[in-house]
Structure 1
Amino acid sequence: MEAGFLAADMLAPALERQKHWGSPLGKVLVSTGIMRSADVARLYGRQRGLPVVDLRTEPRDPALANPQELDFYLKEDCLPWQRRAGETIYVAGNPDAARTAIAAREGRHLPVFVTSQNGLRRLLARDFAPALTERARFDLMRRMPESSAAARLSPIQAAILALFALLLPIALLVAADATLKAANVALGLVFVSLACLRYVSIFVGLTSPPSPEETAYADRGSPADADLPVYTIMVPLFREARVLPILARALREIDYPASKLDIKLIFEECDPETLAAAKALKLPEHFEFIVVPDSLPRTKPKACNFALPFARGDYLVIYDAEDSPEPLQLRKAIAAFEAGDEKLACVQAQLNYYNWNENWLTRQFAIEYAAFFDLLLPTMVRLGMPIPLGGTSTHFRTALLREAGAWDPNNVTEDADLGLRLALLGYRCGVIRSTTQEEANCRLANWVRQRSRWIKGWMQTYLVRMRHPIKLYRSLGFRGFLGFQLLIGGFTLSSLVHPVFYVAAGMGLASGAGEPGQGALLTAFNVLVLISGYSLSIAAGMAAVSARGLFPLFGQTVMMPAYWLIISAAAYKALWQLVTRPFHWEKTEHGISSMVEGRLARSGEKSISGTSY
C-alpha cells in the first residue's frame, strides 16, 4: 500500500483471498493481475533488506552458470549472477527458500540477492536454450531408445518386411487364389473384431460400474482451496493468434486458485505473430510465455518437452489452442488422483465439439468423438486395457511424466504413444467425467491434414511398440495386448483396407458369385463384414450421442460409412507420409468455424486478423 500498488479498499479482499487460497500475498496479487513479479521482487528486497537485481539491465556473468546444473536452477528459482570481492553472488526469486539449497550445493553460505521470478525463468529459457532444445529432441532417444520413433523400423522389423516383400510375389505366383482369399478373410476378421469392440463398449461404457476415479469428484469433491497443489497448464501454440482470446478466457474461467496455477503458453520462435497477439492480451503474470527455438522436428511434443523443465506443479495438464475445458476439470482430476493408487499416472478428460452441428463433417466428427471418449475409452479402462491418450485434456502426475521420458518429439500423436509407454512401465491411465469443448474441423482439406497426421502417429506407435512383441505381451498381459492390437493396430489396418471389401463384394456380385463355384461364400463373407461392421459401429454411435444428449445426431449415424471412406483416404495419405515425411507435423487450422466470431465477442476481445497458417 505504501508503494502505491494496492489501494486501501483492496487490502481486505486480497488478504481474504490469501487466507482462502493458502498462498503468499505476492502470488495472490500477481496471479490476479494487481501487481507484476518485478514489483513483488522490489518490495521483497525492501522488506528483507536485500539488494534487488533487474536481470534485463544488470546481466549475469555467463561463465558462472553450468548448463549441467540447469535442473537445480529451475527447482530453486536461482542462478549464479556475478562475482564480487572473490565471492559468487546468486540471485533468486525467493532467497529465503533458496539460500539453504545453495549453501548445500556450494558447500558454504553465499550471498543471495532478489530478482523477479518471471524474469529469472525467461532468462533461463533464453540463455540455456541450446541445452533445453537438445534435451527436448534427444532425451527419450538416449534414455529409452526402444521407445523412440526416430527410427521407423527396427532391424528385425526391416528384415521381416523384406522377407514379406520377397515371399508375397512367390505366393501370388504359386497360389494366387488361395493367398488372396486367406488375406481377405484375415482382414475381414480384423474389421469385424474392431466393430465388436465398439459394440461391447455400449454395454460396458454405459452400464458397468465406473472406475473410482470417474466418480471421485461426485463422491467426495476436491480438497479445500488452501490444500490444493500447484497445477501446471501447458498450451503449445503455433499460428494460433486468432483463437488466443477464446483460450485466455477459458483458462481464466477455470475454477482453481489463480495463485496455484502455473500456466505456460508455449510459442515457436518462427511464429512471432502469435507471441505478439498474446502480449497484446496483457494477461496476469502467472501466464508465463516460453519461446521454443526453431529446430527440427517442429512438433508439439518437442515444444512440450522444451517447456517441461519449467513446470512447477505437482500435476500437469495439456490443452490445445482451441480448447475450452469445463471450469471444474482440474478439481475433478485432483479428486481422481486422490481416489486412485500411486500407479495412476494420468487421467483423460472427455473431448467433444461446440460446433458439432455446423455441417455434415462436424456432425460425423462429433459422433466419432462421443463414441471414442464416452464409450470406448471408459470400456478399455474398466477392462484393464491401456488407452491411447487424446492429445489434449490429459492430466499427469508431473513426477511420473518425467520418469516415463515425457513425450516422443518424433511421434506425431505423442499422447497415444505416451499412454502405452506408461502402461509398459507399470502405470495406468484413467478417465474422468469432464468435457473439454473444441472446434471441430469444418473443412474437408483441413480435416484430412489433421486425420492423416493422427493415423500416421498411430502407425508410428504400433511400429515402436511391436519392436518387442513378446515383451509387450508380458508387460500388458493378454487383455492389454489384445486391446492394443484391436485399437491401435486394428483401427489403422481397417482404415486402410475396408474399401477393399466394397470392391471385393461388388466384383463378386457382378461376376455371378451367387452361382456354385464362383466364390459365393467369399462374397457373402465380404457383404457380411460390411453390414455387421457398420451396423455394430452405428449402434455404438447412436448410444454415444444419446448418452451425451446430442439427439439431432442420432439419425446422422447412418452416414458413418461415407465418413469412413474419407478416413480411408486420410489413412493412405498417412501411409505415404510415413515413408516420405515421417516426422512432419501437418498444421491444423483453427478459428475457421462460423461460430468463432461469436465466441470472440463473448471473450470481450476483437478478432485478431492476419493469421497465417
Structure 2
Amino acid sequence: MAVLDRSIVARGALGEGPAAEAVMLPPEIGFLLAAGFPYQTLAEAAETAPRCRIDAATTLLNTGLISEDVFYRALAASLGAPFLEDIRLCLSAGTQQVLEDGAAPLVQPSPRAAVSAPRGRAVAQLIEARKRSAVLPAITTPTRLRLAVFAQRADAVATEAADGLQQHFPEWSCRPGVQPGDLIVVGTVLALLFLMTSLPNGLSMSLLGLLQIVTAAMLTVRLASIFVWSRPNAVAGMRCLGDDALPTYTVMVALCREARVVDQLLLSLGRLDYPQAKLDIKFLIEADDAETAAALRRVPMPARFEVVTAPPGLPRTKPRALNVALPLARGDYLVVYDAEDVVDPRQLRLAATLFARAPATTACLQGRLLIDNCKDGWLTRLFTIEYSALFDVLGPALAAWRMPTPLGGTTTHFRTRVLRELYGWDAWNVTEDADLGIRMALAGYHVGDLPSDTKEEGLVKVKPWLRQRTRWMKGFLQTSFTHLRHPRETYGRLGPVGSFFALTLVPGTVLSALVYPLLTLWTIYQMLLGPQAEAGILSDATRMGSHAVFVGGLLAMVLPALVACRRRKRHDLMLWTLLLPFYFGLVSAAAWLAVFELARHPHRWNKTEHGLARTSRSGARLTRSGLRSASPAPRPIPAMAAAG
C-alpha cells in the first residue's frame, strides 16, 4: 500500500532482538516501502537522519542508497501524479528563485499547471498536501528542473555570471578593462625604469629612492610575518562540531579539460569526514568539454554530487563558472577546490567549527596549500618552498593582523551569504581570488586562517609555469587598476594601515617583481664594479638604500622560506632556499610578460594542465604511469541502489 501517513512503523523486518525494534519511517521516505524498496535500507536512513538533524529523504539520496531518478519516479507514482522527463516551463521568476522553490509553472496546455521537484522535508509537505487537494503538480527530479531552467534561461544565466558584478558594483569590476590612461601610466613607469641611468643625476637618484621605499615596504611586511607563530597543533586536538551541529556545506570544483584527474578528485572528495547528507558537491564544466563530461558520467555518483554545465559565453574563465553555480549552492558555507587537489578529509569539519567560533566579519578561511610532487625537479622544489612561505608564514600573519589578503585560488572557504552579497567573483579578472580578497576587505570583512592542508600538483617545466605565473601577475595588475580608480574611496574604506597592506601585497608584488632584476644589477654594479659616485647626501642615501634593499630582499626571500621549512619539518628543502634569488628571476620574467599580455589579451585565461605529476610525497596522487603509491586507498563513492 502507498504510505502517505505521517509515519509508518514496520516491525520484525530486522529479525529478533534489540535490532528488531520498530523504526518509524518518516513520510518523505515511507512511500518507498510500497514501491518495493528494502525496509532495512529505509530504516537505516530513518535512524541516521535525526543524528545529523536532517531529513531522511536527503540522507537516502546523498548517501547513494537510492538514485534520484528512482526516488522521484516512486514519489510520482505514490501521489498519482505524472513524472515528467521533458519539461517546458513558463518562467517569470528569476532562476535562483525557481530552483530554491523547486517548482515552476508549465507551458499550457498541459495536464498539470506546474511541475515540482521537492527536496528534503518539502517531500513530506507535498505528500501532506494530497489530503487537502485533488490536483497536485507533476513531478520531476531537481536535476531535470535545473536543466530545463538553464536551457530556457541560458542567455540570462550566462549574462549574470559574466556581468553581475559590473551591474551591481561597477566600481569593483575590472570591466570594461584596462583603459588608455592605465596603459599610459604603465608605459611611463616602464620608460622611466629603462631611462633611469640616462636621466639627470638628481632625478634618477630620486626615482631610485622611491623604488627602494616601495620595495622596502613590501620586504618589511614579509619579514614581520615570520614573528607571527601559527600553531596547527592548537587545532589538531580541537573538539569539532558533531554531526548534528554541522551545517550543509557546498563544495565547488571548476573543471576544464581535466578528464585525467577525475578519478583522483572523486577519491579525494569521497574521503571527506563530513555527514554525506549535508554535502552539496558541484562539478562545474564548460558546454564543449565533452571529455571531462564523459569522465564524470563513467562514475555512478550519489545525489550529493552534481555536474553543472555553464552555458556558452564569454569570458571562458574559472570565476564565470563559479558564478554560474553560486545561485545553486545549498550550503551555509562554501569552499572552492581545484581539480588536482587532494583534500585533508577533516578540513570541512574543522572549517565549520572555526566559522562557528569566529565573528560574523570573518567571511573567509584560507587553507594551507602544499605542493605534493616536490621531488619531480628543481622547479617543483622551489615552488614548494614558495607556497610554504606564503601559506604557512605570510597568510597566517595577515589573518592575525586582520589585513587585506589576496586569497589563494583554492581551499578558500566562505560564508555563502557574503559571497552572494558581493555578487561572487569577477568573471573578467584572471586572478579572481586575489580580487575577491580585496573586495571583502573593502566591504568590511576579513580572512581567517585555516590550518588544514590541501595538496596540489606543482608544475615541472618552466614554460607552463611561466604561463601560469603570467596569468597571476596579470590578474594582480587588473585588481590594482580596478581598486585604484577611486583611490580616495579605497583609502576611506581600508584606512591607512589596510591601504598600506593592500598596496604592498597587490600592486607592490608586481612592481617589486618588475624592478627586481634592475635593482639587483644596479646594486651589484655599485658594490663590485661601479666607480665611486659623486659625493652628496642624495647619492649617499640611495647607495645605502640600495645596499639595505639588496640585503633586506635576500632576507625577505630566505628567512620566511626557512621558517616555513622548519614549521613543516622539511629540512631537506632548506639548502634549496639558496636558489630563491634565481627563482624570483623567473617571477620577474612572468611580471614583464604579464604587462605585455595585459595590453594585448587582458582577459585571456592561461589554462594549467594537471595530472602530469611523476611523484607524490603523500602517496595520495596518481602518477603519470597511472599507478598509485603504496598508500591505503580511500573508500569509493557508494554505489546507488536500485529499488525493489
Following the alignment from structure 1 to structure 2, what is the Cα–Cα distance between the partners of residues 28 and 172?
67
- 2:459 pairs with 435, 441, 446, which one? 441
Aligned-pair CA distance for 1:232: 0.9
Distance 1:384-1:173 versus aligned 2 partners, 3 A rule: closer
Q: Which moved more, 1:182-191 or 1:549-558?
A: 182-191
* 1:71-110 map, 5 Å: 71-83=96-108, 88-94=113-119, 97=122
Is residue 448 of structure 2 the alignment partner of residue 417 of structure 1?
no
Query: How many pairs were matched up?
Result: 586
Following the alignment from structure 2 to structure 1, what is the Cα–Cα distance between the partners of residues 238 and 81?
50
Q: Are the counterparts in 1 of residues 114 and 138 from structure 2 also a CA contact under 8 Å?
A: yes
Following the alignment from structure 1 to structure 2, what is the Cα–Cα distance between the partners of residues 605 and 147?
44
For 1:55, give the aligned amino acid.
E
Provide the secondary structure at the position in 2 that maps to 1:189.
helix
* 1:210-609 map, 5 Å: 218-222=237-241, 224-508=242-526, 512-514=530-532, 517=535, 522-523=542-543, 525-595=545-615, 596-598=621-623, 601-602=627-628
1:117-166 superposed Cα distances (whole Å, 9 cap, x missing partner): 2222232233322110010111111111111111334687578679x589
Q: Are the counterparts in 2 of residues 77 and 98 from structure 1 also a CA contact under 8 Å?
A: no
Is residue 76 of structure 2 the alignment partner of residue 45 of structure 1?
yes
Q: Which moved more, 1:274-283 or 1:187-196?
A: 187-196
Q: Are the counterparts in 1 of residues 56 and 120 from structure 2 also a CA contact under 8 Å?
A: no
Following the alignment from structure 1 to structure 2, what is the Cα–Cα distance between the partners of residues 436 and 173?
46
For 1:264, give the aligned amino acid.
K
Q: What is the aligned partner in structure 2 of residue 130 from structure 1?
A: 155
Aligned-pair CA distance for 1:512: 3.8
Q: Are the counterparts in 2 of residues 348 and 390 from structure 1 also a CA contact under 8 Å?
A: yes
For 1:201, give the aligned amino acid.
S
Provide the secondary structure at the position in 2 that maps to 1:317.
strand
Provide the secondary structure at the position in 2 that maps to 1:204.
coil
Provide the secondary structure at the position in 2 that maps to 1:554.
helix
For 2:240, give the aligned amino acid.
G
Following the alignment from structure 2 to structure 1, what is the Cα–Cα distance between the partners of residues 394 and 357?
22
Q: What is the aligned partner in structure 2 of residue 139 from structure 1?
A: 164
- 2:85 pairs with 35, 55, 62, which one? 55
Following the alignment from structure 2 to structure 1, what is the Cα–Cα distance between the partners of residues 541 and 36?
83
Aligned-pair CA distance for 1:248: 0.6
Give the superposed CA RMSD: 3.2
1:19-75 superposed Cα distances (whole Å, 9 cap, x missing partner): 43333333223222231111111222344x24142223xx32x4x222x43222111
Following the alignment from structure 1 to structure 2, what is the Cα–Cα distance between the partners of residues 216 and 274?
37
For 2:592, give the aligned amino acid.
Y
Q: Are the counterparts in 1 of residues 115 and 140 from structure 2 also a CA contact under 8 Å?
A: no
Q: Are the counterparts in 1 of residues 469 and 587 from structure 2 also a CA contact under 8 Å?
A: yes
Q: What is the aligned partner in structure 2 of residue 192 from structure 1?
A: 216
Aligned-pair CA distance for 1:272: 0.9
Q: What is the aligned partner in structure 2 of residue 115 from structure 1?
A: 140
Aligned-pair CA distance for 1:516: 5.9
Q: Which moved more, 1:184-193 or 1:80-89?
A: 80-89
Aligned-pair CA distance for 1:100: 9.0
Q: What is the aligned partner in structure 2 of residue 65 from structure 1?
A: 91
Following the alignment from structure 2 to structure 1, what is the Cα–Cα distance between the partners of residues 356 and 234?
12
Following the alignment from structure 1 to structure 2, what is the Cα–Cα distance between the partners of residues 321 and 374?
22
Higher helix share: 1
Distance 1:515-1:579 versus aligned 2 partners, 3 A rule: closer
Following the alignment from structure 1 to structure 2, what is the Cα–Cα distance between the partners of residues 425 and 46?
50
Provide the secondary structure at the position in 2 that maps to 1:586.
coil
Aligned-pair CA distance for 1:520: 7.2
Q: Which moved more, 1:312-321 or 1:25-34?
A: 25-34
Following the alignment from structure 2 to structure 1, what is the Cα–Cα distance between the partners of residues 588 and 270?
39
Following the alignment from structure 1 to structure 2, what is the Cα–Cα distance between the partners of residues 184 and 297?
39
Aligned-pair CA distance for 1:94: 4.3
Q: Percent of aligned pairs with the same residue?
A: 34
Distance 1:99-1:9 versus aligned 2 partners, 3 A rule: closer
Distance 1:111-1:96 versus aligned 2 partners, 3 A rule: farther
Following the alignment from structure 2 to structure 1, what is the Cα–Cα distance between the partners of residues 442 and 270?
36
Following the alignment from structure 2 to structure 1, what is the Cα–Cα distance between the partners of residues 256 and 245?
35
Aligned-pair CA distance for 1:374: 1.1
Following the alignment from structure 2 to structure 1, what is the Cα–Cα distance between the partners of residues 106 and 239?
48
Q: Are the counterparts in 2 of residues 216 and 339 from structure 1 also a CA contact under 8 Å?
A: no
Aligned-pair CA distance for 1:539: 1.0
TM-score when normalising by structure 2: 0.84
For 1:256, give the aligned amino acid.
Y
Distance 1:319-1:597 versus aligned 2 partners, 3 A rule: closer
Provide the secondary structure at the position in 1 that maps to 2:370.
strand
Q: Are the counterparts in 2 of residues 509 and 523 from structure 1 also a CA contact under 8 Å?
A: no
Aligned-pair CA distance for 1:237: 0.4
Distance 1:156-1:146 versus aligned 2 partners, 3 A rule: farther
Distance 1:457-1:514 versus aligned 2 partners, 3 A rule: same
Q: Which moved more, 1:3-12 or 1:140-149?
A: 3-12
Q: Are the counterparts in 2 of residues 93 and 120 from structure 1 also a CA contact under 8 Å?
A: no
Aligned-pair CA distance for 1:262: 0.8
Aligned-pair CA distance for 1:384: 2.5
For 1:434, give the aligned amino acid.
S
Q: What is the aligned partner in structure 1 of residue 6 from structure 2?
A: none
Is residue 224 of structure 2 the alignment partner of residue 203 of structure 1?
no
Distance 1:560-1:98 versus aligned 2 partners, 3 A rule: same
Distance 1:180-1:516 versus aligned 2 partners, 3 A rule: closer
Q: Are the counterparts in 2 of residues 465 and 472 from structure 1 also a CA contact under 8 Å?
A: yes
Following the alignment from structure 2 to structure 1, what is the Cα–Cα distance between the partners of residues 478 and 395?
20
Aligned-pair CA distance for 1:419: 1.2
For 2:603, give the aligned amino acid.
F
Following the alignment from structure 2 to structure 1, what is the Cα–Cα distance between the partners of residues 301 and 422?
33
Aligned-pair CA distance for 1:453: 0.5
Q: Are the counterparts in 2 of residues 449 and 586 from structure 1 also a CA contact under 8 Å?
A: yes
For 1:221, give the aligned amino acid.
C
Structure 1: runs of 5+ lacking an equivalent? 102-107, 607-613
